[in-house]
Homo-oligomer: A and B are copies of this chain.
Amino acid sequence: MSITLRKLDSSHPDFNAQLSAVLAFEAEEDHAIDQAVVGILADVKARGDAAVLDCTNRFDRLSADSVASLELKREELQAALDGLSPVRRAALQAAADRVRAYHERQKQECGSDGFTYREADGTLLGQKVTPLDRVGIYVPGGKAAYPSSVLMNAIPAKVAGVQEIIMVVPTPNGVKNELVLAAAAIAGVDRVFTIGGAQAVAALAYGTATIPQVDKIVGPGNAYVAAAKRRVFGIVGIDMIAGPSEILVLCDGSTDPDWVAMDLFSQAEHDELAQSILVCPDSAYIEKVEASINRQLADMPRHEVIRTSLTNRGAMIKVRSMEEACTIANTIAAEHLEISAENPQQWGDQVRHAGAMFLGRFTSESLGDYCAGPNHVLPTSRTARFSSPLGVYDFQKRSSIIQVSEAGAQTLGKIAAELAYGEGLQAHAQSAEYRLRKS
């Protein structure tokens, strides 16, 4: 049974509306889930460890007698690492090393040293940059447990200088994911608790007797985890709440169609809601990719997921030119943008909105997912219009520095007082005026 992907043509008068329909995705907010989460958050806030223990035993079908017993010892992480095959261990270590090297560079380049400058009258202004003290990383249990995500979340925090990283990962029925634990060992995670769900988010946000309160919680989770993160936002920091994963491939029509088909599969295999879109000026090439999709699909172990994803959410867009493809890329603001073309940089330069750009025929998205170095936690659902890949900067924050000299206070005090009176804030004005020299 062959797949037929939705075809769009940018010269069609209804193209913009058709494209909007393809992109439309709204995370359903489930009121029942949200209410359950509100209850769990309140319970953990009130009862601490006891509530975490109850929830964990109930939802993950365990019979632990304390939260402390749910903490994994460092030796257990190391044992997981030592248990890997040499090839897999080397691959994980190589990936970690490259991710660390990229984020070290990012730290250097993104203003991590802060700055100060002195004005003529001696006034000093600047910005101090400091790491967060303690961060929580949520790692899903079960099928969506990705060791690569452990690296991508923990390493930037480490590079930023976060002193303590607490990982939480549920172990339903007591089943541990050895590859995830090995990744935690490599990434330098400080403590690991085998808890999950809204109760884990609550424990990290409020702190309990056993689990220390963190300053920020990052990492993906199911609908309960997402609802809990939304609710604790403000008490702690959170990363973006991710939607389904997406790939947008701009192709000039001369990459091997099998490569592009497989790149579309690599997104579609994540889950049924994932979105894979090909944009190309060559309609014959689009047909070749579709033929390749149908030729290769049966060989894919996850062909059912791929079929559903491509049928429901995939699309192939014929455009008039690569320039137009870039304009469409700016509208879509994709999480992953592959530019599979000669001189890809010229097209990349025209794209303002994308989570990550994979340039050139040899840059399959999967290289970036695992080991190129840049982060694979990227803004989804068009949020690349206003947000960024997870990075060192997400684990740092800034403080403004203002040291006004006595001379500076004479100039600034008059300006501030004038504006403060204008806003009806007399204490503000007088506080500035006290610093004026009596004359």
A288 within 8 A of B: no
Q: From the candidates B95, B237, B391, B393, name the one contacting A419 in the complex (CB within 8 A).
A: B95
Most buried by B among A105, A301, A351, A418: A418
Q: From the candidates B359, B400, B413, B424, name the one contacting A402 in the complex (CB within 8 A).
A: B359
Q: From the candidates B362, B369, B385, name the one contacting A416 in the complex (CB within 8 A).
A: B369
CA gap between A147 and B398 in the complex, in Å: 25
Most buried by B among A133, A353, A379, A416: A416
CA gap between A147 and B425 in the complex, in Å: 12
A88 touches B384 (CB 8 A): no
Tell me whether A403 and B88 are in contact in the complex, defined as CB-CB below 8 angstroms, given that A125-B373, A372-B412, A431-B259 are known contacts: no
A158 within 8 A of B: no
Contacts of A393 in B (CB 8 A): 393
Name the distance in Å between A245's Cβ and chain B's nearest Cβ: 11
B389 touches A428 (CB 8 A): no
A357 touches B399 (CB 8 A): yes
A345 within 8 A of B: yes
Which residues 245-298 in A have Cβ within 8 Å of B in the complex?
A: 256, 258-259, 262-263, 265-266, 268-270
- For A, the interface residue count at a CB cutoff of 8 angstroms equals 124
A195 within 8 A of B: no
Name A's interface SS.
Answer: mixed
Contacts of A300 in B (CB 8 A): 426-427
Name the distance in Å between A154's Cβ and chain B's nearest Cβ: 16
| Chain B residue with the shortest CB-CB distance to A135 | B386
Contacts of A375 in B (CB 8 A): 400
A30 within 8 A of B: no
A363 touches B402 (CB 8 A): yes
CA gap between A369 and B132 in the complex, in Å: 25
CA gap between A433 and B107 in the complex, in Å: 32
A–B Cβ pairs within 8 angstroms, 28 of them: A27-B234, A88-B418, A92-B419, A110-B110, A110-B111, A111-B111, A133-B352, A147-B419, A234-B240, A237-B385, A300-B426, A300-B427, A301-B424, A356-B402, A357-B400, A359-B401, A363-B404, A364-B409, A364-B416, A364-B432, A366-B417, A366-B431, A368-B402, A369-B416, A372-B402, A372-B404, A374-B400, A384-B399
- A258-B434, A302-B424 known; 20 new pairs, CB 8 Å cut-off, are A27-B234, A87-B418, A91-B422, A106-B115, A133-B385, A147-B419, A268-B427, A269-B425, A270-B425, A302-B427, A344-B403, A360-B403, A362-B435, A367-B413, A369-B416, A370-B419, A372-B404, A379-B397, A388-B397, A389-B400
Residues of A within 8 A of B (CB): 27, 87-88, 91-92, 94-95, 102, 105-106, 109-111, 114-115, 117, 123-125, 127-128, 130, 132-133, 143, 146-148, 179, 215-216, 234, 236-237, 240-241, 256, 258-259, 262-263, 265-266, 268-270, 300-302, 306, 344-345, 348, 351-375, 378-379, 381, 383-389, 391, 393, 397-406, 408-409, 412-420, 422-432, 434-435
